[in-house]
Amino acid sequence: MAARALDAETRAERADHGAIRLWLRMLATNRLVETRTRRRLQERFGTTLPRFDLMSQLERAPRGLKMGELSKRMMVTGGNVTGITDMLEDEGLVERVADPADRRAWLVRLTPAGRRAFTAMAQEHERWVVESFAELSGREMSMMAALLARLKTHVRSLEEREP
């Protein structure tokens, strides 16, 4: 019999509250999907998930985004966004352009080469995610999405009530 893989869920014990066991299972599953995606992005495109995420945000905003908005959307520090942007700019995948609405600000946007590179990555990324969830039927995915949406709303409401 194969040894059980070590992950967050292996810490759970039968005596643990069901919420703890569920949280650890969600965490372990998310890490498996994310680790697989990170590995494949590196192997196939020589890139990282943060770089892919930044390009994804820019793909959704063709006119570009300010660094602060990128940071907010990606939920990372401005320093992280600046470092990733600098590297992508050096590779000709993004460019900084003056913001026509604010002469003091710069917008970051994909270059045509960046758009082509992102399109190729996004197609593969989607295929990998679909493949990761292939064990679930459409109905099961819908049910899971609805339950997670309810949980997300509840946790957000808890956050809003806290000082």
Q: What is the CATH number of the domain that holds 67?
A: 1.10.10.10
Dihedral of the alpha carbons of 113, 114, 115, 120, in degrees to the nearest 10 = 90
- The whole-number pLDDT of residue 20 equals 84
Instruction: Read off the pLDDT of residues 77-130 as tens digits, 9 standing for 90 and up.
Output: 878 899 999 999 999 999 999 988 888 889 999 999 999 999 999 999 999 999
Mean pLDDT of the chain: 91
Which H or E run contains 99?
strand 94-99
- The whole-number pLDDT of residue 93 equals 98
Residue 62 near residue 97, CB atoms below 8 Å: no
Range 134-139 average pLDDT: 97
Residues 70 and 97 grouped into a single domain = yes
Tokens of residue 158, six digits: 């808890």
- The whole-number pLDDT of residue 7 equals 65
When divided into structural domains, the chain yields a total of: 2
Q: Cβ–Cβ contacts within 10 Å for residue 117, how many?
A: 21
Instruction: Read off the pLDDT of residues 38-47 as tens digits, 9 standing for 90 and up.
Output: 999 999 999 9
- The whole-number pLDDT of residue 38 equals 96
Residue 120 near residue 45, CB atoms below 8 Å: yes
| Residue 1's pLDDT band (cuts 50, 70, 90) | very low
Residues 102 and 38 grouped into a single domain = no
By residue range, what is the domain housing residue 25?
Answer: 18-46
Tokens of residue 126, six digits: 């989607």
Residues 70 and 81 grouped into a single domain = yes
